[in-house]
Amino acid sequence: MDGFEDSGGENRSQRLADKDRVFMARGIHKKLKQPLTYYFNSGGMKSAVLTKAIKDMIRSARSSGLKMVATVFDQGGPNRAAINSLYEETKRNFALQGKENHGFGFFIDDEEVVPLYDPPHL
């Protein structure tokens, strides 16, 4: 870590990072707890950047063989905004296809992911 803001890809700046965000995989059937990536931010991650990071992380995890069925977040504003954005994107995609969405979550590449909120933060 060099101490500067880095949200992946081209999202780097010369601002000093004061917060981090960790994406972690947890197993449902197997004992697995593995950090997948870290993002370093100045003042927190913006919801648009977080939305892209969630989609990228789910796709990367799936390509490595993990089956992503849910996400867990606290109810912070950027987290809620990112999840709402993913719901809206799913709603638009279903409308464009002329289909009804009977799922509980949002869809990334035609696979459902159910967003959950961390119980200690409820």
Domain range enclosing 32: 4-121
Helix axes 47-63, 77-97, angle to 10 degrees: 70
Number of domains observed in the structure of the chain: 1
Q: How many CB atoms lie within 10 A of CB 64?
A: 9
pLDDT tens digits for the chain (122 residues)? 467 655 566 666 667 777 788 889 999 898 989 999 888 877 778 899 899 999 999 999 999 999 999 999 988 889 999 999 999 999 999 999 999 999 999 999 999 999 998 877 65
